[in-house]
């Protein structure tokens, strides 16, 4: 590796169906990152667009607003010198509406990851992505996953999550940015929280990578939520050492990695 030290950041922020409000929240996160020496800041699933809607066509006013907001964030992140893993909906090369992460580096979208593992209701809104790709960033190999892509669940998703995770392993990922928008259902004995946490720790350890986990502060429909999260937000290294955000509300977090890629808090 040319340079294995990196400062990564993430956030738990409100995500609604109001693009202007979402844009303002992401800019606050970028401001925090710039003030705290973060190289690259990650956001939740559909952080800019809002979750689970799709336009009738490309003339939909929301599409035009979202296009302007993406351009705004590209310019803003470049000015602040903070690279961005942006969760949003947008079109693929076939003009299909997808749920994606845009890796905005120096103000330009250099890579995307499109959500592969979709619930049945999501297929009414988003086209499925293809595989998981790792690319070079400051001498490290980074990649992205979106929510269900990462939660290996043989009862619901079959082998799809495992295939994606093995792809990241084959490509020798160092850092995986996980953008989530998780229903705020804790389950009996914190079942869903524990399941998500075990997945993050097990896959980080087995893949020998570091996972940056971002979730939303709202319900998936964008309405307010004031309870505990059902997925831990923070940064988990391959030894399962955590730098964890508080369990409630808006939060920003960062960690720097030493040459052995363990967290330095």
Q: Across the chain, what does the average pLDDT equal?
A: 93
44-75 pLDDT, tens per residue?
Answer: 999 999 999 999 999 999 999 999 999 999 99
Which residues, 6+ apart, have CB-to-CB distance to 169 below 8 Å? 206, 207
Does residue 2 have a pLDDT over 50? no
Q: How high is the pLDDT of residue 265?
A: 60
Does residue 149 have a pLDDT over 50? yes
Does residue 161 have a pLDDT over 80? yes
Instruction: For residue 204, give the CATH number of its domain.
Output: 3.60.110.10
The model's confidence at residue 1, banded by pLDDT at 50, 70 and 90, is very low
Does residue 259 have a pLDDT over 90? no
Residue at 60 is within a domain: yes
Residue at 241 is within a domain: yes
Nearest-angstrom CA–CA distance, 208 and 237: 8
Residue at 1 is within a domain: no
Does residue 4 have a pLDDT over 90? no
Listed as own residue / partner, the contacts of 157-160 with beta carbons closer than 8 Å and 24 or more positions apart are 157/117, 160/116, 160/117
- The residue segments making up the domain with residue 13 are 6-264
Residues 163-174 have a mean pLDDT of 93
C-alpha distances in angstroms, 68 versus 19, 72, 95, 109? 10, 6, 18, 14
Q: How high is the pLDDT of residue 187?
A: 82
Residues 213-233 have a mean pLDDT of 93
Domains: count for the chain: 1
Does residue 144 have a pLDDT over 80? yes
Residue at 172 is within a domain: yes
Does residue 36 have a pLDDT over 50? yes
Nearest-angstrom CA–CA distance, 138 and 130: 25
Residue at 17 is within a domain: yes
What is this structure's pTM?
A: 0.95
């Amino acid at each position: 590796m040319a340079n294995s030290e990196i400062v990564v950041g993430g956030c738990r922020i409100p995500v609604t169906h109001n693009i202007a409000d979402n844009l303002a929240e992401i800019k606050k996160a970028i401001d925090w990152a710039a003030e705290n020496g973060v190289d690259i800041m990650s956001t939740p699933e559909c952080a800019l667009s809002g979750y689970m809607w799709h336009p009738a066509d490309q003339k939909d006013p929301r599409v035009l607003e979202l296009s302007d907001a993406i351009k705004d964030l590209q310019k803003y992140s470049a000015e602040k010198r903070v690279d961005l893993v942006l969760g949003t909906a947008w079109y693929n090369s076939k003009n299909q509406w997808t749920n994606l992460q845009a890796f905005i580096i120096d103000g330009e979208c250099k890579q995307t990851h499109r959500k592969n593992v979709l619930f049945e209701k999501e297929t009414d809104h988003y086209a499925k992505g293809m595989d998981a790709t790792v690319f070079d960033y400051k001498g490290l190999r980074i990649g992205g996953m979106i929510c269900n892509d990462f939660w290996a669940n043989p009862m619901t998703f079959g082998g799809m999550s495992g295939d994606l995770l093995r792809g990241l392993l084959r490509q020798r990922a160092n850092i995986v940015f996980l953008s989530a928008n998780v229903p705020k259902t804790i389950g009996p004995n914190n079942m869903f929280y524990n399941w998500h946490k075990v997945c993050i720790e097990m896959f980080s350890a087995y893949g020998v990578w570091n996972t940056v986990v971002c979730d939303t502060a709202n319900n998936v429909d964008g309405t307010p939520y004031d309870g505990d999260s059902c997925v831990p937000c923070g940064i988990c290294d391959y030894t399962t050492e955590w730098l964890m955000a508080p369990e409630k509300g808006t939060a920003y977090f960062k960690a720097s990695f030493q040459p052995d890629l363990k967290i330095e808090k």
